[in-house]
Structure 1
Amino acid sequence: MDIVPPLQLQGPEELLSRIKPKRVTAVKDMLSELVQAAIHFHPNGANVKTFVANLLKNHASRSVVKLVLDDAFTKSLSTSKDSAEEYVRPNINGQQFQIEDLQKATLHTTLVTSKRLLWLLETMIDLGVADDAVTEWSEQADLSANLLRIFNDDVWLTCLQVLLLGCTFNLASEVAAGFITASYQVISVSIRVI
């Protein structure tokens, strides 16, 4: 900002508008887009996820990082809940093969979203911003019931079980070790899981 006056530019406002963000939420929006790109779109996901995790780790504002990751976690968890609900109670009136096709599609969505959730939770734990995620994860009775039904219907689908149990175990371990503060109800549930 100190270099603008010595440059003697005709339009320093234009230069400042390029350097300085117009909105306060520009950084949050940029980080949100990076997280979404890492978990959704990029074909070489591991490298991009590592890059984004390092950006988040080195970001100056822990509160912005927490907001970005909490938002991504909430969206992914909501998608997972919706797809598990759709599997258990298909919203279609048709032939059995149509219902089975819909269930396969929603099962795939649940699996992909579970991979995203695991990465998000691991990143949140690494950065020390998983406090709200622990509480939200522990309050998923409906999702647990739907997942139990999915596990009973599709025993072969062990990778989904591993992903979701990995999420639960990571959070429970952090709570039990005292790295994440949680309410008494969450702690008692976490200790039973371990």
Structure 2
Amino acid sequence: MSLRKRQRSASSSRLSAFASPPSPPPASSASSPASLSFPNADLLLRLHLEPSSPDDAEAEPDTDPRAAATPSLDLHVSSASLLRSRYFAALLSDRWSSSSATPGRLSLAVPAASSCCCARPFHAHVEVLRLLHTLDFAGAIRSPADALDLLPIALQLLFDACVEACVRFLEAVPWSEEEEARVVDLAPLLPADESADLLARVSPPPTAAGPSSAAGEAARSPSEAMLHGLIHSAIHGHPVHAATKAFVAMLLKDYPSRDCVHKVLDEAFLSRLETVKDLMGKYASPDFRVAVDSDEREAIQRLNLQSAVLNVKHLYWLIERMVDLMVADNAVKLWSDQAALATDLQKLLNDADMWRNMTPGLPMLVTRCTLRLANSVVTGETLVSRQVRMKLVRSWLPVLNVCRDIVQPMHFHKSSNCQELEEVFLQIISTLPVPEAQELLQQCLGFSTRNVDDCPHLVAAFKTWFRRAGRAPQGREN
């Protein structure tokens, strides 16, 4: 038996032990209500079940009179205890002057919709009335379900001490998803000061627009801030990077708002890209080369290039996430607009002693980033404009040409990345207008290696271009 079931059973046992119903009435009085009695009773309080709808109240009675009788329960209660409820205190103060009231008798309607258990429709009301007599809140509220059952009745009867006890219990313990939904429904019924702690758990605080947002940049939502922090931790803050990155990747994939994921990944990508640009710019800066001596310059360059490699690795992980989630459109646009970064990379790659001694993996890392983004464009996973496709090839084709020349003699499996990027670039070129394709194809002649058989992709690209260029112009006037 689960803990919650044991707690609810215990609550039911306590109620039965305190005020147990009498033996079943004889057959002649079978329609009379059952009754419970509390100590020092001087009033009779009848609980009766309201119809769930007006149609039920107007329905024809059944042939069996017991089936037609409205369920009810008589409680012998203490008027002194009832005064702890502001509802009953007002009712009792008015009752003595009311000519329509029956002396010593009260009636309380229980909505049928509030009866969570058809077998015990009055259970929660009886438990609240018991607390009016005993104030044993610790004994009655043992689980969130207990508090959520009692709280609506305590609010209805204006039993402030019970409301406070229920709220204090709910604020201090964990909830299930179902219990959280009930808390959200009940919170608007509570006074603002009592509901504040509960609402703080189920919704973020309101954000006040201030001078800090005057620049037009909207503040991050709590979800965006959380995802941003997770990505930052996956990249920088945890020693087990692979496991942490896999977990964050799963959270990003399962997150319901694709717009939120898109925005957070774009911010992280832009941040890493700016870092790489800054580090590569320092390497390529002529002022830096003149300002410091060779030994100090080499030490600083080594540090900068190693940091650049690390950040390119982070970029590649972000690119993988963006492509997998089909939110890489902005990343492709940014990457296509990096002609200056591509120029700095060419300077580094042409300085063979520098990158081979310090960062031998940099050429392939850059090639993999470009390949992942370009391939998503070719497959249609990322849709970008013709201008972006053209700039992507124009900016990074020179880097590819340098990479393929310096990598192929070193590692065959790495050179396959260059071969694949060649094919993808040629496919992107095939999506461009004839004049733009002509300009870029002429820069692809380096794809031909030792003989024609080594470059079928280049042969096919040129045949396609000549076929299109030889076609008669097409236009509306023709």
- Normalised to the residue count of structure 1, the TM-score between the two structures is 0.91
* CA RMSD, 1 decimal: 2.2
- Quickly say closer, same or farther: Cα 1:193–1:102, change in 2 above 3 A: farther
Aligned length: 194
Q: Hey, what's the Cα distance between the residues in 2 that align with 1:11 and 1:116?
A: 46
1:141 and 1:193 map into 2 onto residues whose CA distance is 19
Q: Identify the residue that residue 192 of structure 1 maps to in structure 2.
A: 425
* 1:133-166 alpha-carbon deviations (Å, 9 max, x no partner): 0010011001001011111223523311111100
The answer to whether structure 1 residue 120 and structure 2 residue 307 are counterparts is no
Q: Per-residue displacement from partner, 1:51-93 (whole Å, max 9, x unpaired)?
A: 0011011001000000000000000000000000011116472
**Distance in 1 separating the partners of 2:300 and 2:347:** 16
3-state secondary structure, aligned to 1:33: helix
TM superposition shift of 1:8:
7.3
Which of 186, 192, 200 is equivalent to 1:17? 200
Equivalent-residue separation in structure 2 for 1:19 and 1:185 (angstroms)? 46
Q: Is the 8 A contact 1:87 1:102 kept in 2?
A: no
1:160 and 2:380 equivalent? no
Name segments (4+ residues, structure 1) moved above 6 Å: 6-10
In the alignment, which of 266, 283, 303 is matched to residue 105 of structure 1? 303
**2-side partners of 1:121 and 1:110: how far apart?**
16
Partner of 1:142: 340
Q: How does 1:75-94 map to 2 (within 5 A)?
A: 75-89=271-285, 91=288, 93-94=291-292
Q: Does 1:46 align with 2:242?
A: yes
| Distance in 2, Cα, partners of 1:3 & 1:14 | 11
> 1:193 offset after TM fit, Å?
6.4
Larger Rg: 2
Amino acid at match of 1:16: L
Cα separation, 1, equivalents of 2:292 and 2:343 = 25
Partner of 1:64: 260
Shift of the 116–193 alpha-carbon distance from structure 1 to 2, 3 Å rule, reads: farther
Residue 94 of structure 1: CA displacement? 2.5
**Distance across 1 between alignment mates of 2:325 and 2:319:** 10
Partner of 1:3: 183
Q: Contact conserved, 2:238 with 2:244, CA < 8 A, in 1?
A: yes
Three-state SS of the structure 2 residue aligned to 1:21 is: coil
| Cα distance in 1 for residues equivalent to 2:282 and 2:355 | 18
Q: Which has the higher strand share?
A: 2
SS at structure 1 position matched to 2:182: coil
Is residue 173 of structure 1 aligned with residue 375 of structure 2?
A: yes
* Paired residues for 1:28-43 under 5 Å: 28-43=224-239
Name the stretch that deviates more: 114-123 or 170-179.
170-179
- The structure in which a higher percent of residues are helix is 1
> How many percent of aligned residue pairs carry the same amino acid?
36
Matches of 1:40 and 1:56, distance apart in 2 = 17
TM-score, reference length from structure 2: 0.38
Which of 26, 38, 53 aligns to 2:222? It is 26
101-110 or 88-97: bigger deviation: 88-97
Structure 1 regions of 5+ residues with no counterpart? Answer: none
C-alpha separation in 1, matches of 2:292 and 2:371: 39
Give the SS at the match of 1:118: helix
Do 1:118 and 1:167's aligned partners in 2 also have CA atoms closer than 8 Å? yes
Which AA in structure 1 matches 2:272? Answer: S
Answer whether contact 2:279 2:305 (CA < 8 A) is retained.
Answer: yes
